[in-house]
Structure 1
């Protein structure tokens, strides 16, 4: 039996319930038949127009907040790429045949993203459940009174839920500020690295709490050599920032006394078993020895460092990869590998926020990183770090934070 040909435009138009498509600028791109019928608008009155030009707020209701709440929900979807379910709200609509006459409506909306190949939001799906008739239902001699009581109760509960959501949003925003301040205190600019130029970057996620799990560190080793590490704690927010600080400090100390990066990660893995929230943390550590022109590295479940050669070739240091911290029930030695480098090469360590996107596999992100590194390989570390962020991070930001270290060898 052959695969049926599906007219998705016809399917969209026939979908039961009110569904509209809007651009990230909140311009109507399309609407199904039920949306047009129940909203009392033609397709020509919607398409290409700003949503709140078509459906402005009722000027006769000083307490009206439906427009603000709907706009904030849609913009959250555009910024985060995540679905947003709204509380029941009242949103009156002006009668197109009788200007100045507003009809009372109650809606239960859900806004969802449509993502493009680059992971950015290209459309917002606006699905609305029309519940006005339910609220205004009449059920006998006292039906009108019961309906008005139900209407008042539902409206009051919706307002209470919206107030709770707003308080939660403010609390989350405050936690984000505290976590970012803590992050900034624990991730200072690197100290002097001799003649070897270095650049570091940290970019928080766009979500309210999706910050502060990532870190970087540079540790002086004997003989003017250097240890560089980046890591990523599972979880977000203030708790993740505190866990990150503990692990970063422990690894910094371990690198100073360990014989190599594998031994340093073994010590960190043992420590992580006793730190709440440290399980499944990923981290990679590299020891750079300029006397022998070698890099020794060990990776605990983390994306591999990139070594950019002067001719533009990029080598990913992926030959010493092991599970994340405390992921195995028993403690086992970790692997490490040594590789050579030529003077003038560049070593880049990063966290997964730089390369991973929800709609593609990690190899696509690694290829994109390699292309950017090859293109900008002659840039100084500061300029290279900025170029990588510009090339690889969406303009609207990501839902994961990003740490980055660039070292000219």
Structure 2
């Protein structure tokens, strides 16, 4: 009896789970991709990933003076690790980039963590990596976050939160503007299975499609600005008219194409983006750089932030004495300025000096006539 009850319970559980259809079920690849990106734009999550050069092809004229293999090996030895957190509802974005150089038995890296509060245009930066170059980051400021903030009286009327709330719609419009044929479903590979993906949607963009997407981004952001700044319609339109020709001109200098796989869970949550991008220069037909990247998303709905600014661990950038290499004054300049101030302080205004002492001084300093 117990075994029969257990079998019925298992069967019912399977039916219930099977009855919970995926929001992407029976969707075409383009609709599924647009829906996924729209949903992701309103979410909160942690992310981590890496960007690196996977191949480098140089023009023949450069390889005559450069060691082609050496240049390619150096380029492939660099990578950029990215991790952080996103919580747009709280208007917070954390980014921890790490520039890494790695060879067999040799590795070095540089990391600059930063936290942004978007609605107040405030940024906190951990600049500890530069404390040897800037003495002001040592001593009492050692390990403290540097706070940089826009003048609050200038931005208090900016509708930043309202604009962030519209980001899902903006994202939807950008991806929906791409040709439907650019989206295709792909079989799950081992990487997708390891991440728990149920869907693998590929977006393939040639140079023309990349340009179209870039222009759509400008259009959508301009429309967003217009909705929230009705008194600046002409300025925004002028800006768009100025940017569009620049984009067209850039295509003659640099062309990009890309292939991006969206790894999506059964519930329609974006788990990762795996991309391959090629950059070329039409004027240098043999020059081509291939870049590969992987970005994984986790802790959906409950992002964890590593930087936690407090009154005790923060120093305002305006309160820091900048080093000479950042435009500040070095010790010699400070001493010179101090001496100059001292001289000015000791000067006696001419109006307070009587004519008699002046005449007397001149008489004393007058050279004796030669005999």
Relative to the length of structure 1, the TM-score reads 0.21
Which structure is larger by alpha-carbon Rg, 1 or 2?
Answer: 2
Identify which of structures 1 and 2 has the higher relative contact order when contacts are C-alpha pairs closer than 8 Å and 6+ apart: 2
Flag the structure with higher helix content: 2
Q: More strand per residue: 1 or 2?
A: 2
TM-score by structure 2 length?
0.23
